[in-house]
Structure 1
Amino acid sequence: MTPAEFLGDHTFRMVLLGTMAIGVVSGALGSFAYLRKQSLISDVISHAALPGALIAFLVAAALGWDGRSMPVLIIGAVVVGTLAALFANGTTRVSKIRIDTAMAVSLSVFFGLGMLLMRVIANGSFPGKGGIQDYLFGNASVMTVADLVTSISVGGIALAVMLVMWKEFTLRTLDPDHASVLGFGARTIDAVMFATIVVAVVIGVKAVGLVLMVAFVVTPPAAARQWTRTLPGMVALSGAIGGVGSGVGAYVSIALGNIPTGPVIVLTLFAILVISLVASPRRSLVTSALARRRARAAVTRELAMEEGSR
């Protein structure tokens, strides 16, 4: 399939634009989770997004609304996903439980609730419940223009919040003690930061699925970190990697035939990460290996000179 044929098809255009928007937003905002060493918080959020979306579906169905409306599902997923992230971080503040353990507990509890609600919906007579299981693994081909507009709009708001609170996010991420001394409210900043990351995850759940969304938040920042030393550069490059990798993966999945889009995008992002690990000029594995080799050679020469002087 040629690029012209690809772009000429309405469904394929929706897949391409939708996944690229998801990649840009999740890549940019995922940089803060990566630098805070809480990359797996995206996994917590994505699994908590399931019960959030299902609760929103049930509430909307009870009120006679369209339970599968994208804005309704996003609101439910954002609320519950933010609660899950705050629960994990709050647990570490009030107890001796480590953050990795707290995230695992939060993920398990909220995902268990989501699976229970999915069974309730599957066994009940709720209008519009067909295809609700797509939120587990995603289905990019069902994206509509309304879904695309909603994803871009909500993602754009999250990026705007990041820019408005850039100083607060930066200090809280890189120097939390200094941020506290300056009087920045740690809990407030954390709540806003995690809410934006929740948005980055949630807008991709319908297209990619909660199982794979963690790769969209983790992989682009990890690749971008190999090429840049500054936070603005990392955020911009991470968003670019997320967008380009998603676009390339979407095109390849459709060009090769009936292949799921989400997994191909994840593999594309992984390939970019591998290239970054090997080829980046300052932090690549090759550069590090050569530096270690030179250091060992220098030590060997010094020892030989000491032996010779004796």
Structure 2
Amino acid sequence: MSPLEFLADHTYRTVFIGVSIIGLVSGALGSFAYLRKQSLISDVISHAALPGTLLAFLAAATVWQGDGRNMLGLIIGAVLIGTLAVGYANQISRGSKIRIDTAMAIALTVFFGAGMLLMRIIANGPFPGKGGIQDYLFGNASVMTRADVVTSALVGGAALAIMLLFFKEFVLRTFDAHYATVLGYRAATVDTLLFTVIVIATVIGVKAVGLVLMVAFLITPPAAARQWTRSMPAMVALSAVIGAVGSCLGAYLSIAFVPVPTGPLIVLTLFAIFVLSLLAAPGRSVVLRAVKHARARRLLMRELDTVAVEGRAS
């Protein structure tokens, strides 16, 4: 299938645009989680978003008697519970001797366990519109609608706008938390705002990619972009581009050539870009570094041999 034929089809075009928005937003905002060395936080968010999504479904289906799978409602539920999970993990770390990685692992298991329990309750209960609710766990890009794409674009755009508005505060808090506090920025406020937009970047991919794979969308693009850049603005921009391009390419390949689910192939595409960045990025290339080390080793051995010969001659 040619690219023109691909884009001419409404369903394929919807998937293409939808995943590109998800990749762009998650790539840009994931840079802050990556640089703060809290890559696991995206995993916490994605797993905690499951009970948030299901609670929103239950509220819409039972209390308001509406469409339980409304994209905006599911995003709101996932954002609230995802932010709560992040705050819970950080509170455990601050209020005890437990390290942040252990606290995040605890939060991940607790919230994901609650989500699996809710999924079982929904599956066994007489809730209208519960069919396909399991897609939010593993994702199904083919069921994305134009309304879903518009919702993702608006919510993701709002998250990016917040990032741009508070970019200086986020960067200061990321690189030098103590200096940010000295300048008068409240750590709790900045962290809450930053983690909220990261939560948004995670949950907008719930329907298309699934909660399990969203961690790759947040961490792989910035990890690849870091190999090519030396400044924060450049890294955020390049990470957004890598996320969008990798998502578009993965979606196209999964539909036009390889009949496999879109989400996993996008993850593999992003991983291929990451590997290419490791091998080819100037200044940080693994290959160039190995060549330089081998050259330096040969030069050192040559000098040692010269010294040994001169010593024997004298």
Q: TM-score, normalised by structure 2?
A: 0.96
SS in 1 for 2:254: helix
SS in 1 for 2:66: coil
- Quote the residue 1:67 is aligned against: 68
Deviates more, 1:79-88 or 1:150-159: 79-88
- After superposition, give the CA deviation of every residue in 1:212-269 in whole Å (9 maximum; x if it has no partner): 1111001000000000011000000000000000000000000125310001100100
2: CA distance, partners of 1:252 / 1:47: 27
Q: CA deviation at 1:69?
A: 0.5
- After superposition, give the CA deviation of every residue in 1:168-201 in whole Å (9 maximum; x if it has no partner): 0000001111111111111111111010010011
Q: CA deviation at 1:301?
A: 5.0
2: CA distance, partners of 1:292 / 1:175: 33
SS in 2 for 1:205: coil
- After superposition, give the CA deviation of every residue in 1:90-112 in whole Å (9 maximum; x if it has no partner): 21111111111111111000000
1:58 matched to 2:47: no
- Quote the residue 1:124 is aligned against: 125
- Quote the residue 2:111 is aligned against: 110
2: CA distance, partners of 1:89 / 1:298: 50
Structure 2 alignment gaps of length 5 or more: none
Q: CA deviation at 1:300?
A: 3.6
Structure 1 alignment gaps of length 5 or more: none
- Quote the residue 2:228 is aligned against: 227
Cα RMSD for the two superposed structures:
1.3
2: CA distance, partners of 1:64 / 1:254: 36
Superposed counterparts of 1:231-250, under 5 Å? 231-250=232-251
1: CA distance, partners of 2:262 / 2:139: 9
Distance 1:91 1:291, change over 3 A: farther
- Quote the residue 1:77 is aligned against: 78
1:213 matched to 2:214: yes
2: CA distance, partners of 1:280 / 1:287: 9
2: CA distance, partners of 1:32 / 1:148: 25
Q: CA deviation at 1:305?
A: 5.8
Q: CA deviation at 1:3?
A: 1.0
2: CA distance, partners of 1:161 / 1:292: 44
Aligned length: 310
SS in 1 for 2:39: coil
User: Equivalent pairs: percent with the same residue?
Assistant: 67
- After superposition, give the CA deviation of every residue in 1:118-137 in whole Å (9 maximum; x if it has no partner): 01111111111111000111
Q: TM-score, normalised by structure 1?
A: 0.97
2: CA distance, partners of 1:214 / 1:53: 17
SS in 1 for 2:208: helix
Superposed counterparts of 1:87-102, under 5 Å? 87-102=88-103
2: CA distance, partners of 1:300 / 1:165: 53
Q: CA deviation at 1:303?
A: 4.2
Instruction: Please tell me the residue identity of whatever aligns with 1:278.
Output: L
- Quote the residue 1:282 is aligned against: 283
The structure whose Rg is larger is 2
- Quote the residue 1:44 is aligned against: 44
- Quote the residue 2:182 is aligned against: 181
